[in-house]
Copies of this chain bind each other. A is one copy, B any other.
Amino acid sequence: MADEVILLNYWPSMFGTRTMIALAEKNIKFDYREQDLFNKSSILLEMNPVHKKIPVLIHNGKPICESLIQVEYIDEAWPGKNPLLPSDPYQRAQAKFWGDFVDKKVYGPTRLIWGPKGEEQEAGAKEFIEMLKTLESELGDKVYFGGETFGYVDIALIGFYSWFDVLEKFGNFSIELECPKLIAWAKRCVKRESVAKSLPVSEEITKFVPELRKKIGIE
Tallying the copies of this chain within the complex gives 2
Main secondary structure of the interface of A (DSSP, over half): helix
Q: Is the CB of A89 within 8 A of B69?
A: no
Whose C-beta in chain B lies nearest to the C-beta of A92? B76
Q: Which of A16-24, A29-37, A93-101, A170-178 contacts B (4 or more CB under 8 A)?
A: A93-101
Q: How far is the CA of A73 from the CA of B88 in the complex (A)?
A: 10
- Which of B73, B93, B101 sits near A90, CB closer than 8 Å? B73
Q: Does A59 contact B (CB under 8 A)?
A: yes
List the B side residues contacting A66 at CB < 8 Å.
96-97, 100
CB distance from A105 to the nearest CB of B (A): 8
In the complex, A73 Cα to B86 Cα: how many Å?
13
* Cα–Cα, bound, A134→B49 (Å): 10
A92 CB contacts on chain B under 8 angstroms: 72-73, 76
A131 (CB) vs chain B CBs: closest residue = B50
Complex: how many Å from CA A93 to CA B64? 7
